[in-house]
Amino acid sequence: MNLPNLNEARKRTNKEILIKTNEYIVKENLKELGLGKKYYIKTYGCQMNVHDSENIKAILEDMSFEETTDFEDADLILLNTCAIRENAHNKVFGFLGRVKHLKESKPHVISGVCGCMAQEENVVNEIRTKHKWVDIIFGTHNIHNLPNILFDSMTRKEQEIEVFSIEGDVIENIPVKRDSKYKAWVNIMYGCDKFCTYCIVPYTRGKQRSRTPEYIINEVKELVKQGYKEVSLLGQNVNAYGKDLNIDYKMGDLLRDVAKTGIERIRFMTSHPWDFDDDMINAIKEYDNIMPYVHLPLQSGSDRILKLMGRRYTKEKYIELYNKLKTNIPNVSITTDIIVGFPGETEEDFNDTLDVVSACKYDSAFTFIFSPREGTPAAKMEDNVSLEEKEQRLYKLNELVNEYANQANQRYLNKITPVLIEGVGEKGNLFGYTDTMKLVNVDGDSKYIGKIVNVEITDIKTWSLDGIIKED
């Protein structure tokens, strides 16, 4: 048993990061462990988790398990969890209740919790004491060892917990079963060393570790060969890419090299304003296949709160960068993340946030009420703002954000714009995204799925566009 330890997770040393190319092994006797058995994975949270689930699926299939999308039909149920806010926690414990119920009628079902919540000491303690029936818990640094964890759990019949609280290495040989045939997630780095005071990620995901350019570029070249149209380069803080490698190679260089593979669309997320350098902007400008879309979290528009958050930029510096992006990258769309109700946020601080939103007129924004995360500095800060007040601020902020999102969408009306058609939506229509990451609903034939087609925008909604296909 390896339990998570917050103090260990907080540590950052100069220990060299190892690139491990044979760490993932499925022993011969485990290759058929899942024969005749089905697995179901429920994924919470960000794209990083979505991609981890793609790895977990491939590992389980290496052990002969088969996927099912009906959890009642599964022999193995895994919850890949998110720790970013309290409501993510609540959802997971809510779903665990359903799994417990299922296990009452199907006791052979194996249940497991993995992902960021599994890295949290308090969560694991809660599961150990109150949910003893959960069979396995494994952390974000332990995914490659899933075959052995499962085997131990199945043979020993006791709760199996394997969570390392380490800075982390880079494991290069984990297989992947991608959800899409057209767009792919590609990790370019793991972890985060920014330690924004509200954020749990540096504790759950470890030290910043960039993958080497060679591994990334080879992965993208392989995707091009397989017919993929789009890659999203993933990291908690992609602008800091390469800073931990002892080579003179940064995010701008990586963007150019990925662009040269010929993949039709490149996206990257998430950016931190602190590390966004001019060379990155130039790279986006130089290559048509780097999409004009930047997610640039603001978090707060108040210098006082930004300082308490440990964000290392001011409102002025943020707006300067924002304007530089807008003037240098034609047609760029910019979205953001904003937290309201950070401990001690005054009406004046909140108004500063509204001011920045009005100055930037974002294409869209994800807005959140501050949620204290155990072990982070902000969780201990005095917070005298009532929840009611925070909810009112969120409401007011959302109204403003929606107004600008709507305005931004108006730009597209009656224009023709390229859309990568991804699939069939709930109402039977096709859907896809523009280069600027606008969701578009289109009437049309399924033959267009997986293709980039020109679409004329015929109607505008706040969160999506409607259109018709203009070519064959």
Q: Which residues of this protein are in contact with ligand SF4, per CB under 6 A?
A: 192, 194-196, 199, 201-202, 236-237, 272
Cβ closest to ligand 5AD, residue 121 vs residue 219: 121
Is residue 241 a contact point for ligand 5AD (CB under 6 A)? Answer: no
- From residue 162 to residue 201, the character string flagging contacts with ligand 5AD as x (rule: CB under 6 A) and all else as - is ------------------------------------xx--
Spatial distance between the Cα atoms of 197 and 259, rounded to a whole number of angstroms: 35
Contacts of 440 (CB under 8 A, 6+ apart): 417, 419, 431, 432, 433, 434, 455, 457, 464, 465, 466, 467
In whole angstroms, the minimum distance from the beta carbon of 232 to ligand 5AD comes to: 15
Q: What are the tokens at 102?
A: 């299922």
Q: If residue 283 lies in a helix (H) or strand (E), which one and from where to where?
A: helix 278-286
**Residue number with the shortest CB distance to ligand 5AD?**
337
Question: What is the rounded CA–CA span in Å between residue 380 and residue 375?
Answer: 8
Question: Which region among 8-16, 97-105, 365-373, 461-469 touches ligand 5AD (by CB under 6 A)?
Answer: 365-373
Q: Where are the beta strands (DSSP E) in 116-264?
A: 136-138, 160-162, 170-171, 183-187, 189-190, 209-210, 230-234
Q: Residue 268 CB, nearest distance to ligand 5AD (Å)?
A: 15
Give me the residue label for tokens 């289109």. Answer: 442
469 binds, among ligand 5AD, ligand SF4, none (CB under 5 to 8 A by kind): none
Paired with 161 in beta bridges are 137
Which residue bears the tokens 């002892």? 246
333 binds ligand 5AD (CB under 6 A): no
Binding partner of residue 75 among ligand 5AD, ligand SF4, none, CB cut-off 5 to 8 Å per kind? none
47 touches ligand 5AD (CB under 6 A): no
**What tokens appear for 145 in the block?**
């060892």
- Give the Cα separation of 254 and 233 in Å (integer): 10
CB of 170 to ligand SF4, least distance (A): 18
User: By CB under 6 A, which span of 16-24, 101-109, 275-283, 368-376 interacts with ligand 5AD?
Assistant: 368-376
Q: Which of 85, 205, 211, 265 binds ligand 5AD (CB under 6 A)?
A: 85
CA torsion through residues 410, 414, 417, 419, sign? positive
408 is an interface residue for ligand 5AD by CB under 6 A: no
- Give the one residue of 339, 437, 440, 453 binding ligand 5AD; rule: CB under 6 A: 339
| Closest listed residue to residue 341, CA positions, set 385, 400, 392 | 385
Contact, 175 vs 150, CB < 8 A?
no
315-328 vs 347-360: helix axis angle to the nearest 10? Answer: 10
Which of ligand SF4, ligand 5AD, none is residue 84 near (CB under 5 to 8 Å by kind)? ligand 5AD
Binding positions for ligand 5AD, rule: CB under 6 A: 84-85, 198-199, 297, 299, 337, 339, 368, 370-371, 373
